[in-house]
Structure 1
């Protein structure tokens, strides 16, 4: 079917005038009339009939006009969809994130993003570092956000550090080491309350002790969630080694106290990973731009 001729017919049917259609489309009346006659011949249908000094639709023309209106309405919707998707106003973003960014960074980032782009659907999967990377490699995530020790990634993965965060030793305010300076060896004499094996912060503490030739920490209590581990320390048992993002507000309110370990200033890396040589959708690219411009930097 000649869609150009159908569009001419649609314009004539909408305006009720060949003259008006000629003005709107900037095409001469003889040219429009010639193309409509050819279109009628192709369809083997008479679409227009003379009426007074103008024209009117035949019965077939009226029914075709209804179908043409639907077709061009859908075309308009497709154009709007393409425009919105191209500009990032709609779409889907799948994020895989480790525990720290998923719980302490992403909620604020997503809230700010959704205020501007309500039409974008977002899916967040919280996992460990290897799980986040796996989802990215398996095309199950568009972006992976990682909090922990910088790692070596495959050549297919691009990594961008967003900022660095301090790792703190914390205890209950009534603890004998609260707000004091101690050595790493002294600190390792305390029982630790930590997350499960595989937690990047837990592995970082063990690696720190190996590097400094200090005794390994004694993990006396183990929880699957960081919140539970922190709550146990607040209640008065043991110590925790944790990102300042997770406990800064509790230290400021006096629920926890820092322990200053001499000669140790561990840093946590917050990074975002994407697939190399694969452009992000407009929606995902805008979300990444927002993260870059609103990092939750440690103070």
Structure 2
């Protein structure tokens, strides 16, 4: 088995952090030949160059940037471990790097993530939005701790990752009071040729809605398609069309966007997942998210 020499990694980390071997020598109180030799040993073990000349200084190579990110995490965890064992916590909050799929309803995302900020250890959350494939790639190289998604990671994704179901919610059709008065009676047949605002194609909710429309022989008049769920709701508030929401956000959506329930779509649910590289969740903040979500969804939608 190949073992990583953490002394070599530490010297590399200090040089990368300080920006030069000269400044690293001052920090480490070692000679320049000693530090240079240690970094050469690390490059030899990794079979890749970590620095390249840039003018009079050094710049990280692409591999060097990857190694530096890992080193940052490794030595940060090491400091936290020492503080905890000595019974003298640093007081620094634990970091939680979350990837949030951009089509996730923001109200749901806020509900899911809130428990992470309430654990006694203290958490500093760093939240990034993007497409599932990009976030999953960042997760696979440890740039993220967890990805929160409205769809599971497909089997075609090559890196090892696991889908953890947080919960599922029925789907409602909502709209302004005027739309409710017009389309509530004889629901769902009343929705044929009715105005709708929909998520963009390719999203999990859009696929479910399209299948449901087809099964019910409903032909909606699509007034708009949106990637951003908050923007979709803002247009819905103006009465341009009805839209679908998870029942878990009904109260907040009614309060924030002044819309009302028109009907519930039978047999259609929206599911939410935490995706991690671990089969069993370990990060305390992610465990808190998972446990609270499962409890809340089960309580709200128990039959």
TM norm structure 1:
0.57
2:178 equivalent in structure 1 = 174
- Whole-angstrom CA distance in 1 between matches of 2:79 and 2:162: 38
1:22 equivalent in structure 2 = none
Q: How does 1:1-299 map to 2 (within 5 A)?
A: 79-81=82-84, 90-99=93-102, 103-108=106-111, 110-117=113-120, 119-148=122-151, 152-153=154-155, 154=157, 156-175=160-179, 176-184=181-189, 186-210=190-214, 212=215, 214-215=217-218, 217-251=220-254, 255-260=258-263, 264-277=266-279, 280-282=282-284, 284-295=286-297, 298-299=300-301
Alignment deviations for residues 1-43 of structure 1 (CA, whole Å, 9 cap, x no partner): xxxxxxxxxxxxxxxxxxxxxxxxxxxxxxxxxxxxxxxxxxx
Alpha-carbon distance change, 145 to 242 in structure 1, aligned in 2, over 3 angstroms: same
Q: CA RMSD in A?
A: 4.0
- Whole-angstrom CA distance in 1 between matches of 2:133 and 2:186: 35
Are 2:233 and 2:257, in contact at CA under 8 Å, matched by a contact in 1? no
Gaps of 5+ in 1: 1-74
Alpha-carbon distance change, 142 to 221 in structure 1, aligned in 2, over 3 angstroms: same
Alignment deviations for residues 191-247 of structure 1 (CA, whole Å, 9 cap, x no partner): 21233334332232113234x162554322233422222222222222112222344
Gaps of 5+ in 2: 1-77
Alpha-carbon distance change, 282 to 188 in structure 1, aligned in 2, over 3 angstroms: same
Are 1:100 and 1:246, in contact at CA under 8 Å, matched by a contact in 2? no
Are 2:169 and 2:270, in contact at CA under 8 Å, matched by a contact in 1? yes
Are 1:244 and 1:298, in contact at CA under 8 Å, matched by a contact in 2? no
Instruction: Name the count of aligned residue pairs.
Output: 220
Q: Secondary structure at the match of 2:207?
A: helix
Alignment deviations for residues 137-171 of structure 1 (CA, whole Å, 9 cap, x no partner): 343321122225x5644582222222211111122
Residue 268 of structure 1 deviates from its aligned partner by: 0.9
* Worse overlay, 267-276 or 192-201: 192-201
